[in-house]
Structures are given as structure tokens and as C-alpha cells.
Structure 1
Amino acid sequence: MSRRVSRQEFDTLFDAVRAWGRWEEAPDRGAWNRVTDEHVRRAVSLVRSGTVVPMGRPWDTVSGPDNARPALHYMSGLGDVEAPEPATHKDFLGADYHGKAVSHLDALSHIAYRGRLYDGGAARELVGAAGARFGGVSALGPLVTRGVLLDLPAVRGLPWLEPGEAAGPADLAAAEAALGARIGEGDAVLVRVGRYRRRAELGPWDADAACAGLHVDAVPLLAEHGIALLGGDGDSDVRPSPVEGVHSPVHALAIAAMGVPLLDNLDLEELSAACAAAGRHTFLLVVAPLNIPGGTGSPVNPVAVL
């Protein structure tokens, strides 16, 4: 059982890692402001074999314990209407992508804590029926930076961490040391707990009720490193939440306090194998969200290049 955290203790932690007012020119890009041209050049220099590893899950249209709102995919044109050549085939895609099924990016407008978005604006004034006027995903644009995979089950010699198991700062530091993957400023940190290997072998379960992930105690370490992005094969939060009255505390700390967008529901199995084969857990990472003005995030297929 992970350490329980009171609401008062959590609020103190929130204020300790808060980075409001840090980026005045482009506040709704948050921690993505950390990534400079030099960071991009350094990330590109990591490419050696040219191995390309996508991390987006297949578009999931099947209802299940971890997919309460299945994505939509249907054909909107089958080329059966008489028309000049060539025949065309068209389809429609749609998804309520925030949840436990679709690989997606959380923008800064996705989370408010104590009624405030990142940088202190009132959520009720900035997010409405027409979308977000601050922290929308279109403000982020694409990200190219160094990725660091912290493969927690691999470090422990396990296939996966069990649902409900929390990783703390000592676990992250041990993974850094064991994998030779030190986190630096502007990095994108991906944390593998082995969710999709477990799902493939044992079947789906309600990941809202129980999922391995980070304990809030791990967040100050990530804040000290100055990361630009956090992601994982869950949604970064351990579930059940260890914080009284806060259902997604890592989301609140990362997005609303630190201005760090999140990548949720990545399939990290192929990347885990590729990193093990290459003998390194750092790589070029490319994240290109859809350009959705006012969007609170975007479905996404991040790509690692080794």
C-alpha cells in the first residue's frame, strides 16, 4: 500500500513545485518553453541505428473495462456513387479521447486545481463551451527533444508492476542509475509500468480503479530535473489515488502546477525491447499533436528514433 497523503500535505507540495509566472512570453506552452534549438540538436545527435518506434495504441472502437467511451470509425464514402474516375473511399474518426484507451496528449487547459489553470488563470473564465482560451493544445505545437525511458519492471526483473503499485523518487532514481539514463532539463520522461504486457497476457481491467503509476512523492524529483513532458503506459497517476479528495494528483502537480503536459496510454512495449537491444534508454522523441484551437489535448502517435 502506498503512503497516504493528506489534502493539506498535497497542497503544500503543489505550492512547492508550482512554476507559475516563469514563461511570460508564451505561458500556455508551459514547460515546452524549456526546449531550445540546442535541445533539438542534441536530441537529433542521439539517432544512430535509425530505428523508428511508434507508441500510439490502435484506435480502440471496442467497449471494455478500460474503454468506457469507445472511439468511432466508420466509412463515409465507399466509391459506389457514380462519379468521374478515380473512385474515392472515405472514413470518419471521432473520440472522447481523454480516458484510459486512446493514446493522447493532455494540454495545460485539461486540468485545473483549486479552480486555477497553470499560471493562475481562473478555469471558469478561460475554458468554456467554445473551448480553451488559455493552454489549448494548438499553443503547444510539435515537440522534438530527448526522450528518457524509465523502464521500471525491467529494472526489477519483472514483466510488469501490478495495478495499484506506486513508484516513488527512489524507484525513479534507481531506474536512472540502472539504465544509465540520467534525466536532464528539457527532457521528455516516459515511465513504463508494463500495463499493456499485462493486458495482453491477462486481459483488460478497469484502469480507473487500479493502475500502477507514480506516487506524488516522485514529482519533486522530476521538477528538480526541469522536465518538459511526462508520459507513460498508464496516465502517470497510480490508482487508487494516495491523496485524500484528489483523484488525479500527478495530473494536478504536473499540468496545473508545473506546466508539464502529459502523454497518456502509450504502448511502450516495443520501445522497451528496442532500448534493451540498443543498450541505451535515451532517444530522439517527436510528438506532434493535432492543431486544434481551444483543444484540451489531442490524440497522438509519438515516435522514438534510436
Structure 2
Amino acid sequence: MTPHPPQEPAARPAAVSRQEFDALFERLRTWGRWTPADRGAWNRVTPEHVRRAAALVRTGTTVPLGLPWNTRPAPDNARPALHHMTDLGDVEPPEPATYKDFLGADYHGKGVTHLDALAHVAYRGRLYDGRAAGELTGAGGARFGAVAALGPLVTRGVLLDLPAVLGVDWLEPGHAVRAADVRAAERALGVEVEEGSAVLLRTGRFRRRAELGPWDVDRASAGFHLDALPLLAERGISLLGADGDSDVRPSPVEGVHSPVHALAVAALGVPLLDNLELEALSAACAQAGRHAFLLVVSPLAVPGGTGSPVVPVAVL
């Protein structure tokens, strides 16, 4: 694939002052709401939510939402994942021969599909629930908000397929998805974000990448403007994900490089799914004529881990 020529940074989305951002953070935070606190908004998903989500399965079509394990460096994969063989089947009695391999990844980037746990993001030194990040996170990992505390999530997923709504192949880098866009997508797609829903935003990132080549998504990417977060908070979502990392870039908040991360994870206790492969899900939802489905997310149970590589599965 020929790399796409370096592009100029996209025009900055509607600016929000740091003072306005801090006021929004304080207004949205749900600290002290749940026990256990380090499951955050996943506490919203009750057995009844799971039962209703399971009732969405009609055809049994399963769609994996993870990228292939990404070992190739690129402008959007600065820290490639690792894969190498550790046993090539040298036969030693007794049989059988075995073949073994090693996997490793610095997965909090743009090249690996992963889940951000509540230990991943602190704002002004505080993790979700007001816990002091410096006291609870160190070289040995996190003692609050670790991914092992989350466990699996089975809930109703909602695909906000913005390119399909707008009649385009993809959203250009820097395109900010606002609260009004979320409402318009719900109307156009015949779906509603409900309490406990996992909201997945398709921007068309990987279709654009396939056709134009990779680019530095840290500099410019489509995603949510932070003014969409009050609406999503009001609806009571349990999880937020995207084919990017949910944040529009450049950031609209000076001095805050990932304001959606800060609001979702540190204020609302909503874990994030980053770098989802949503092209097949877009096609499956269009064919089925519906954009709600059963979603299964099962991260690795890593004690002290700030997240996990993951391959979520949608079932229609």
C-alpha cells in the first residue's frame, strides 16, 4: 500500500475553553454512584439488560470487530505488536511435535483493537471516582480501575454509522460528531441509544485507509466532539467505542489532548473500545435493516492492567 501523502492538520473543531471543559467534567461526573466503583458504568448492565440484548439475535450472524494483529509499522502504528515463534516443532520423544508462539503489544495506540479500563485515564491527577492516580498506579500496575475488575460485558450494541447517514464513504479527519449528529443518526437509522447500551461510532477510518493509505491519526481523525457526551451520559451508556479512539482530532480543548477520554473514563466511568473494525458490521447492519445487536466484550483478566487487547463480537 502506498502511504497517503502527509496531510495538513484538519481545521480545529469548535473550540471549548479549559474553564468550560472543567465545568463540564464536574457536571457529568458520576463519582460515588456505584459499587464496585472500578466497574464504573458497567454496573448499569443488569441481567435484564443482558436478556433483552440476547433477544435481539435473529439471524445468528456473528461479526468480529477486532483488527488483525498488527505487526507492521505505519504512520498510524508507531508501536507495532509483536509475534514470533518460540517452538518450531523439533521432534523430541515422546510425540507429538508442538508449535508455539509469543504475542506482545504496547496496545494503547492506534494499531490494536483494545479496551481502555478505568485505570487508563486520569484528569488533574484523579482517576474515576476521585481516586488519586499517583497513589494507586505504579510500576506494578493499577490498584484501582484495573481491567480484571471489569470482567466481560454482554449488552445491547448500537452502531452510529455516520458515513451511511451522510451518504459518504467516510468522515474526513477532523470531522466532529456533535450531539445533533447523534440524534440525526438515531432518526435516520431507526435506532435509539438506551440505558446500558454500548455505542459504537463508525467514521469509515479503515475504508479511507484502504483506499488512500495510512495517515497520522494522532494529528487528525474524525470522532466525537465533547458536546456529544452530555447526551450520551443522559442516555446512560455503558461503553463507548469507535473505529478511531472516539476523540476528534485536533482536540477542541487547549491543553487536553483527549477530552472525550477524560469525560468518558475519568468523569463518567465509561470504558472505551478503540480501533474497532466496523466495516463488516456496517454492511451486516445495512443488510439486516437494523443497527442494534447483541455485543459481547471479553477482555483479558490482567490484574493491574489498564486495559486489554480484545476482539468484541456483534451478533445480529
Category of TM-score, reference length = shorter chain? over 0.9
In 2, Cα distance between equivalents of 1:83 and 1:200? 47
**What is the identity, as a one-letter code, of the residue corresponding to 1:78?**
L
Give the partner amino acid of 2:72: V
The 2-side partners of 1:64 and 1:189 are apart by 28
* Separation in structure 1 between the aligned mates of residue 84 and residue 289 of structure 2, nearest angstrom: 42
Distance 1:84 1:8 in 2: 69
Residue 80 (structure 1) shift: 1.4
* Structure 2: gaps spanning 5 or more residues: 1-10
Determine the C-alpha separation between the residues in 1 that align with 2:93 and 2:244.
Answer: 46
Match status 1:4 vs 2:15: yes
Quote the Cα distance in structure 1 between the aligned partners of 2:93 and 2:214.
45
Cα-to-partner distance string for 1:126-148 (whole Å, 9 max, x where unaligned): 10000000000000000000000
Amino acid at match of 1:240: P
1:28-66: CA deviation from partner (whole Å, max 9, x where unpaired): 000000000000000000000000000000000001100
Residue 102 (structure 1) aligned to one of 98, 104, 112: 112
Matched, 1:170 2:180: yes
Which blocks of at least 5 consecutive residues in structure 1 are unaligned? none
Given candidates 68, 72, 77, the residue that maps to 1:67 is: 77
- Partner letter of residue 252 of structure 1? A
Which of residues 169, 176, 190 in structure 2 aligns to 1:180? 190
* Partner residue, 2:98: 88
Is 1:199 aligned with 2:179?
no
Match of 2:236 in 1: 226
Distance 1:206 1:42 in 2: 40
Pairing of 1:226-245 with structure 2 (within 5 A): 226-245=236-255
2:261 aligned partner, one-letter code: H
Instruction: Show CA shifts across 1:185-226 (max 9, x none).
Output: 000000000000000110000010110000001100000000
Of 79-88 and 234-243, deviating more is: 79-88
Q: Which amino acid aligns with 1:262?
A: L
Number of residue pairs matched? Answer: 305
User: In structure 2, how many angstroms separate the alpha carbons of the residues matched to 1:79 and 1:197?
Assistant: 39
- Please report how far the alpha carbon of residue 296 of structure 1 lies from its aligned counterpart in structure 2 after TM superposition: 0.1
Q: 2 CA distance for matches of 1:123 and 1:98?
A: 18
Counterpart amino acid of 1:206?
A: D
| 2:30 counterpart residue number | 19
Residue of structure 2 in register with 1:138 after alignment: 148
SS at match of 2:218: coil
- How does the TM-score come out when normalised to structure 1? 0.99
Q: C-alpha deviations, 1:215-257, integer Å up to 9, x for none?
A: 0011000000000000000000001101010000000000000
Deviates more, 1:157-166 or 1:79-88: 79-88
Aligned CA RMSD, in angstroms, stands at: 0.6
What are the Cα deviations for residues 153-197 of structure 1, in whole angstroms up to 9, with x where unaligned? 100000000001101000000001110110000000000000000
SS at match of 1:62: coil
Q: Per-residue deviation at 1:84? A: 1.3
- Percent of residue pairs identical: 75
1:77, distance to aligned residue in structure 2 (A): 0.3
Structure 1: distance between partners of 2:171 and 2:60: 30
* Distance in 2 of aligned mates of 1:176 and 1:17: 22
TM-score computed with the length of structure 2 as normaliser? 0.96
In 2, the alpha carbon distance for the partners of 1:170 and 1:205 equals: 28
1:269 to 279, 293, 296: 279
Shift of 1:81: 4.5
Q: CA deviation at 1:82?
A: 2.2
Determine the C-alpha separation between the residues in 1 that align with 2:168 and 2:180: 17
**Number of the residue aligned with 1:52:** 62
Off by >3 Å, runs of 4+ in structure 1: none
